[in-house]
Amino acid sequence: MNTYRTFQWLCGFCGFFVIALFSFVCHAQPQGVVEVRAVDSANVPLTLIRIGQRETKGICPLLSRIFFPEPSPAFPLRFSKFTEEQARTFRVERLSAFDASEYTLDILGKRLSAAPQETLTLLDGEADLKRATSLREYWQQVWGIAPERIVLKHKAELSRVGRCVEIAASPALMEPVVATDTLHTVQPSEIVFAPTVTNPETPVQWTIVIKQRVGNTDKILKNITTTGKVRPLVSWKIARELHTTPIDTMPLTYQLEVRYDNSPNRKSQRAAIAVQKLPPPTSRSSRILVLLGANETKELTAQNKALIERIKQENMIQATSTVTMTYLANNAASRDAERGAQAVAMALGLSKAQVAPTKNMAPQPYQTFMLIGDKFGTVVTISVETPIEKK
């Protein structure tokens, strides 16, 4: 009897032990590897980034021609279109110099509101004046400009240039925008994350969470989120995303989070990248935009002559400055674009030895915006570096 009970007890114990061991093994077995590491563009492990900031002075002209989409005479949607409330709170001084062209119509509306004695003329390439009328109606409805202050005229030769309205106004209204922007620098400019997930189940979603300690909280700088199979490399072009650029020297931390339908959700170990400040800049930066028309190969327009004088007044180019000049032209203007850029250099008193205009192979958004619709335009960009004198 005792032997039978002992046998029962041993069987029960062994059964319990086997079940417990099986349960332990199942739960202890990792559901695949979940890791992530940061590397630079050369696939070298990244443990440090450097940050800095510098002020850049910019000057940009207003657009003297407003181009419309074909064939509609409606307000060109690529320009900002304010409500009356937005117009009341609009401040030109808050703009970056390179946003000025996008806000040309509202800058003019603001200036017309502030100077009731000023008028302007809109020259339309079409005899029905519908495009010019749409601009006048915008200024009237949003900015409260009396229609008699905006004269509409037909200028037939504009039809050769494109679907545009030309603005003729006083130098005070067409004054270029001068602004000082704070630019944040990050080295390297790109961080590459290399995630590793070995679970055979395809994730529902996976996210690389990048944080930085701000005060007593961990602020999320960037979430890189996608669905489906985890990619072997994920790029974060940190220098292009100003709102995510770290501005303090607290370390960046990053972690991979993976979510499944059937398997348990997993997280990698949180890793860190040290952040260090760059030395103060040794030079001041300036950037100047000049928009040239079809025939500006030798003689500049009155608006561009006024722009050149303003550049000189601002003392943006000095004897110790290093100047780089590039240009972007539409195909129809490419033959004369370099001569136009050289005319700008001569007007600024720069010799060929100081600067040689070269065709811009990587158009910037502000350049392409200024040229949309213009068959003959050229945007000249002048970058200036002036050494800071040591005290």
The structure tokens 């050769």 sit at 160
Fold (topology level) of 62-175: 60s Ribosomal Protein L30; Chain: A; (3.30.1330)
Q: Give the phi and the psi of residue 271 in degrees, each rounded to 5.
A: -110, 165
Q: Return the pLDDT at 140.
A: 96
In this structure, the strands spanning 322-329 and 283-292 are unpaired
What is the per-residue pLDDT across 305-348, written as a single tens digit (0 to 9) for each? 999 999 999 999 988 888 988 888 876 666 778 888 888 988 99
Q: What is the pLDDT of residues 105-140, one digit of tens each?
A: 999 999 999 999 999 999 999 999 999 999 999 999
**CA distances (Å), 346 to each of 301, 349, 355, in order?**
14, 5, 10
**pLDDT tens-digit map of 65-75:** 998 877 777 77
Query: Is it true that 31-53+183-277 and 62-175 share their CATH fold?
Result: no
Asked if 265 and 259 count as a contact pair (C-beta separation under 8 A), the reply is yes
Q: Under a CB-based contact definition with an 8 Å cutoff, are residues 354 and 319 in contact?
A: no
CA distance 130 to 278: 54
Q: What is the homologous superfamily of the domain 282-387 according to CATH?
A: OmpA-like domain (3.30.1330.60)
Residues 6+ apart with CB under 8 A from 94: none
Q: What is the pLDDT of residue 203?
A: 93
Mean pLDDT per 10-residue run, the chain (391 residues)? 49 46 41 86 90 91 88 77 92 86 94 96 94 95 96 90 90 93 87 93 95 91 92 89 84 96 93 94 92 84 93 91 85 74 88 63 73 81 89 67
Domain segments of the chain: what residues?
Answer: 31-53+183-277, 62-175, 282-387
- Can you tell me the distance from the alpha carbon of 267 to that of 228, in angstroms, rounded to the nearest whole number? 16
Pseudo-torsion of CA 97, 98, 103, 104, nearest 10°?
80
Give the model's pLDDT for residue 22: 40
Bridge partner list, 359: 327
SS3 272: strand
Instruction: Decide which of 2.60.15.10, 2.60.40.10, 2.40.50.140, 3.40.50.1580 is the CATH code for 31-53+183-277.
Output: 2.60.40.10
Q: What count of other Cβ atoms lies within 10 Å of the Cβ of residue 315?
A: 11
